[in-house]
A and B are shown apart, each in its own frame.
Chain A
Amino acid sequence: MNTIFYIAAAVALISTGLAITGRNAIHALLFLIVSLLAISIIFYILGAPFIAALEIIIYAGAVMVLFIFVIMMLNVGMERETENRWLRPRMWIVPVILSFILLIDFIMMMKGMPHHAISGRIIPPKQVGISLFSTYLLGAEIAGMLLLAGIVGAYHLGRQKKKVIHRFLQNEDDEINNTIQ
């Protein structure tokens, strides 16, 4: 079991690294999906099968697909030159240094922790469900309302007013469309 964990962790790290350094948006998203699959394996090893399933269904299956739909709709996936221009190696220096500092902070924090091994007891979905609807009922309702707000906001923000232009004014169509609404 341990080796599976380490292999999955390595896959996750490598594919996340490829995702954030990818030039092509679609490819980067696909790498990210691979990473999410690896992470769900890790969740399973840790004894959270329900979460592992949820990770694949919602995260990899809905959120990432939404991303891919938007990229396809906007039709911007194939611009390699812009990405190459924007991503020069020297842009990476400062963020990497900062993250390195944070990493060292994190390691030093962990030195002070007591050493226990993980128990790895499996927590079945039934328990999750019971806890969700008894202890955390209020949180579940609020989460529902949050999703409602998300739906309404997404619909409203994504709307575009269609302008009906008389055919005599068709040449100025482009200028009007270019102005900020």
Chain B
Amino acid sequence: MVTIPVEIQLLFAALLFLMGLIGLLVRRNVIFILMSIEIMFNSAGMVFVIAGSYWAQVDGQVMFIFMLTVTAAEVSVGLALILQMFHHFKTLDADKLSNLKDTN
């Protein structure tokens, strides 16, 4: 039997989420930003599974499957956009995408 307190598990998921958040804020390369978003998705899904295991219900796992679907769709579209961006700007710098700025 597994006797890990649920707070530790949630803490673990939170740590993973925060690491993904730090990566999102710090990195400038678009690929790394997407990767950090993936980490955050994953940790959010992990919280679902933890909850499902806590209440001994199946719904947590089903939620994780849906979340996985969303992640897959999002990654494919996001990478297509990165391809377009690379072909236009010839760089993967996220700071170059600033055409919507206030021009003052």
Contact = CB atoms under 8 A, between A and B. Distances in A.
Whether chain B is bound by chain A comes out as: yes
Contact of B53 (A9, A119, A131): A119
B80 A103 contact: no
B72 A150 contact: yes
Given A25-B31, A118-B3, A74 B69 contact: no
Contacts of A117: 3-6
A180 interface: yes
Interface in B74-95: 74-77, 79-84, 86-88, 92-93
A70 B56 contact: no
Contacts of A12: 12, 16
B52 A123 contact: yes
Interface string A128-147: 10011001100100010011
Interface string A92-108: 10111011001100110
A7 interface: no
A136 to B, nearest CB: 5
Contacts of A71: 31
Given A70-B83, A158-B84, A181-B88, A143 B59 contact: no
Contact of B92 (A76, A102, A151): A76
A118 B79 contact: no
Interface residues of B, number: 69
Interface in A76-91: 76, 83, 86-87, 91
Interface in B18-68: 18-23, 25-29, 31-32, 34-36, 38-39, 42, 46, 49-50, 52-54, 56, 58-62, 64-66, 68
Contacts of A151: 76
Interface of A: 1-2, 5, 9, 12-13, 16-17, 19-20, 25, 28-29, 32, 35-36, 39, 42-43, 45-48, 50-51, 54-55, 58-59, 62-63, 66-67, 70-71, 73-74, 76, 83, 86-87, 91-92, 94-96, 98-99, 102-103, 106-107, 110, 113, 115-121, 123, 127-128, 131-132, 135-136, 139, 143, 146-147, 149-151, 153-158, 160, 180-181
Given A42-B46, A47-B53, A95-B26, 19 more contacts: A16-B19, A16-B20, A20-B20, A20-B35, A48-B49, A59-B68, A63-B38, A67-B31, A67-B79, A74-B83, A92-B22, A95-B25, A99-B18, A117-B4, A118-B2, A118-B53, A153-B76, A157-B80, A158-B84
